[in-house]
Structure 1
Amino acid sequence: MVSSSLPFVETYQTAFAALGDPTRREIFTLLVARPRAVGEIAAELPVSRPAVSQHLKVLKEARLVRVEAEGTRRRYSVDHVGVAAMRDYLDDVWGQALANFAAVMEEQ
């Protein structure tokens, strides 16, 4: 069953809000394909490097991306732990919806 505790709400609210922005969704989709530096992301989108950095900050705070230093560069990639937590939440919600649907169908 889906928890309604405060940390749960903060975690998922932040993650879903982060992906509510179309530019952040595009950035996230690029990172799903492979890790990238800010400049690589900016080169693929009509967004400046500073704007990409701000979007990455939001995604990182939402635990959807992580950053690793590689020499003088910082490479961003998908944070699989954060994404798995969101998937667990959605699986739980979906399971409840299917159970409710099955119960309604059995009553008919």
Structure 2
Amino acid sequence: PHAGLYERDPDSERIYFVNGATDYREIRNERQFIIIDGPPALPESRRAERRRAGLPDTGENDMPLRDPLQRLCRILFPDPILNEGEILSPGVLSAVDWVNDQMFG
């Protein structure tokens, strides 16, 4: 899936792309979630440091990953992901399953 805002249709349960939003504040209802793919881009200041040091600017993010899953994607939800029974809510499970299917087929 591409980075952006997605929504689960309450009738069909299908998940569809809404727009390219990546800011948590763009989520408008409990059926929406945001996918942010990959680690953040290398800041321009780091790129400048690499150039001054004579290191090539590969255009790739060579910052160390803090989290091994960071390179895959992050999913942002508007509400807590656990319900009262301390298990993942059905909407969260649906979104996670969908993202997994999209990524790994």
Structure number having the greater helix percentage: 1
Q: TM-score, normalised by structure 1?
A: 0.28
State the TM-score, normalized to the length of structure 2. Answer: 0.28
